[in-house]
Every structure is written in C-alpha cells, then in structure tokens.
Amino acid sequence: MATVEFKRLTKRYGIVEVVHAIELTIADGEFIVLVGPSGCGKSTTLRMLAGLEDISDGQILINGRVVNEVESRDRDIAMVFQDYALYPHMTVYGNMAFSLRYRSVARPEIDRRVREAAEILALSPYLDRYPRELSGGQRQRVAMGRAIVRKPQVFLFDEPLSNLDAKLRGSMRVEMKRLHQQLGVTTVYVTHDQIEAMTLADRVVVMNAGHIEQIGTPEEVYHAPDSMFVAGFIGAPTMNMIPATREGSEGLRLANAELIRLPHPVAAQSELIVGVRPEDVEIATDASGASVVVLPATIEVVEPLGADTLVFASMVGHPMSLRVRPDVRPQRGMSVQLRFDLERAHLFDAVTGKRLAAVNT
C-alpha cells in the first residue's frame, strides 16, 4: 500500500491546458473517487498517475518517491480499464496469470495468487473459460483479478462499470466496496457517475474544467457544496437553484416574492442564488417557521419510483423538483404551494458561484 500526492500537477496539449496545477494528497489505503463531467480532466489525471500520459508540470509522488520519469511498469500500480482489455484467446486463468508470467514469477506462486484472487472474486468455477463465455460482470471481475494478483501499491480504475447495465452496476459497486475493505489497497477511481462516487469513496474529488472544485467526504460534498457547480453536479435530481436579491444584511427577496428574513446574515453581493435539495421541498400544508418560504407553483411532471415520487413543478417561473413520499401523487396542472426552510437551503454568490458562509452579526 502507498500514499499518492499530486503537487501542482499540470497537463497541456500544445498551448491548451487541460489539467490546471491540481493539489491532492491520498492517504495509505484510502479510496478516492475523481468525479466530474466528460472533459473535466479526471481520466487524464489518472493516466498521468499511471504513467500513460506525460506530465507537463508539477509532480506525482508514490510513497514519497517522485515518479514523473518512472516507466508505468515500474510504478507498482495496477489499472482496470473501461473496456476490460482481456485477451480473447486466453482463459480466465491465463488472463489473470499473464502479468506474473511476464515478470517471470515462479509457477507455483502464480498459481497460488491466481487461485487466491479467483476465490476472492467468486471466479473459481470459471478459470477454464474464455472471455466470450462470460457475462459482462464476470469479465469485469477477471479484469479486477488480473490487477489483484500483482499485489500493487495502488489500484487505478477508469470508469470500470460504465459498460454494464444498471442492475449489474449496482451489484458490482457492492463487490468493489467489499474488495477494498478486504484488501485495503490505496485506490483511485474515475467516474462521471455521481452514484458510484457517493457509494464507493472515502473522499470525493469533484473536478470541473481541469480544476478541483471540492475535496470531501460524500456527506460533505452533498450537504455542504463549495460551489453551484458541485451543488448542481452531485445529487439526482439536481439541486434547485432560485435567483434572489439581498436587501439589507438579513433581508432576501426570492423569485419576486415578499421580503423574507434570512436566518443568518451573509457577506455577499446583492444578487444571490438560493439552492435547495429536492428532498427539502414539500407541498405545503402550512407556513409555520420564521425562515420558511412558501411560494405558488404548478405541477408539470410526476414520476413514481416506488420508494418515493419525483415531482417537477414551475414555481413563479422557475423549475423546481421535489422528492416526496410514494403515496403523494399530485396531478399534472395542479396549483400548489411549495414549502422549504431557509435553514436547510444553501446560498451562493450569483457572480462567482461560490457558497456563502454566514457572518457574525
């Protein structure tokens, strides 16, 4: 196992900079997920760590050793790719043993490691099969087994579940979490899927346009997003964003409604964005509470999901989403009052997009 550090890690293609001097320290045994939209630089960052992309500037350290000029095969890492990259002419056993044979590991040791990894991944009955004879989930486990047998210091995963169907992705997430808990190897995992990020990570690194927007536990990036980008990217449906104008240190006029008193004064420009999670909005039955906002809305779409119901509405001209109890089924076109508490909302600067902290009165 190992620590990993990025020190002002930068990648340029010609004059175009795609990763901008990022700083990150990954602890020994930690499971880190790099998440963000396509083109944000997360896979490029992983490939620089793997030694598959040259570093334009900055440093990568593994266990305190600078590896900028170290060949990929000498970094003691193992990478699992999106397309599995299995050899079709080799059996499961052959695929898992290949890298060890390449390194001239003794045959008894190869056999021991392959069978040990196969047992961990429930692949023992399939060692004599070829990749074409396996399901997508089984092929993914073979790719993981090929990494495990090497006993690397660091595991790297580049969107390994993106080719699987939704049900299989769910079961594979459980398998990967269990595997990390069992092996305790430092892991860096790249995905655009926020559910994978939230369920797998010890810490999430949210990337945007080559920059790190926020680093934190899944709970931190969900409940205390540093910016509108993080708030909008993490969570499904996305956080509701409502324009508002500050009047005085504690007054807030939201969506052209009557003046509301902020629960805490904030330091900001006059133009704000109020962010509120769908689960924190409800169809109003009362307007009790000093910081409660109640505004008229029209129901547009209702999506029953079984465990709960998603409701999409237009609230004084702004789209709103709600996550409500499964027995709540408002009808399309119905006029309702939507209620949420500013104590559970987030305030963002409309210009910078940064989350605003309360200030002392």
In three-state secondary structure terms, 151 is: coil
**What gap in Å lies between CA 225 and CA 217, rounded to an integer?**
11
Sheet containing 318-324: which strands, arranged edge to edge? Answer: 282-283, 335-341, 292-304, 309-315, 318-324
Given a contact cutoff of 8 angstroms between Cβ atoms, the answer to whether 132 and 84 are in contact is no
Does position 290 have pLDDT exceeding 70, yes or no?
no
Span 170-185, mean pLDDT?
89
Average of per-residue pLDDT across 277-298: 80
Query: CA-CA distance, 210 to 228, in Å (whole number)?
Result: 17
Nearest Cα to Cα of residue 234 among 203, 274, 194: 194
CA dihedral 302, 307, 308, 310 (to 10 degrees): -40
pLDDT on residue 271: 84
Check pLDDT > 60 for residue 359: no
For the stretch 275-284, pLDDT in tens is: 999 999 999 8
pLDDT band at 201 (very low <50, low <70, confident <90, very high): very high
The per-residue pLDDT for 244 is 86
Strand 211-216 versus strand 203-208 pairing type:
antiparallel
Q: Is the predicted pLDDT of residue 145 greater than 80, yes or no?
A: yes
Cβ pair 206, 194 in contact under 8 A: no
Res. 360 pLDDT band, cuts 50 70 90: very low
Most confident of the ranges 3-12, 153-162, 228-237, 313-322: 3-12
> 293 pLDDT exceeds 60?
yes
Residue 95 has pLDDT above 80, yes or no: yes
Instruction: Measure the CA–CA gap between 45 and 56, rounded to whole angstroms.
Output: 11
Distance CA 340, CA 283 (A): 9
Mean pLDDT of 247-265: 69
What is the per-residue pLDDT for 82?
82
pLDDT band at 168 (very low <50, low <70, confident <90, very high): confident
Best CA proximity match to 5, nearest among 24, 30, 18: 24
At residue 216, does pLDDT exceed 50?
yes
The larger pLDDT score, comparing residue 256 to residue 98, is at: 98
**268 pLDDT band (50/70/90 cuts)?**
low
- Smallest Cα–Cα separation from 42: which of 211, 227, 195, 169? 211
Encode pLDDT of 22-58 as tens digits. 999 999 999 999 999 999 999 999 999 999 999 999 9
- Measure the CA–CA gap between 62 and 3, rounded to whole angstroms: 6
Helix ranges (DSSP H) in 55-165: 92-102, 107-120, 136-148
> What average pLDDT does the structure give for the chain?
90
Residue 96 has pLDDT above 80, yes or no: yes
Q: How many CA atoms lie within 13 A of 192 on its CB side?
A: 10
Cα–Cα distance measured from residue 226 to residue 214, given in angstroms and rounded to the nearest whole number: 6
**Given this model, what pLDDT does residue 329 score?**
84
| pLDDT confidence bin for 263, thresholds 50/70/90 | low
Q: Looking at the predicted structure, is the pLDDT value of residue 78 above 80?
A: yes
> Picking from 262-271, 288-297, 336-345, which range would have the lowest pLDDT averaged per residue?
262-271
Please say if the pLDDT value at position 250 is more than 90: no
Closest CA to 353 of 171, 169, 250, 227: 227
The predicted model gives 58-76 an average pLDDT of: 95
pLDDT at 361 over 50: no
| Amino acid 259: pLDDT | 66
The pair of three-digit structure tokens given for residue 190, joined into one six-digit string: 């790249």
pLDDT interval class at 316 (50, 70, 90): confident
pLDDT at 289: 55
d(CA 130, CA 330): 52
| 3-state class percentages of the chain: helix first, strand second, coil last, to nearest 5 | 25, 35, 35
Q: What is the pLDDT of residue 172?
A: 85
- 145 with 84: CB under 8 angstroms? no
Instruction: Tell me the average pLDDT across 140-158.
Output: 92
Going from the N-terminus, what domains does the chain have, and what CATH number goes with each?
A: 4-229 (3.40.50.300), 238-349 (2.40.50.140)
| pLDDT of the residue at 252 | 76
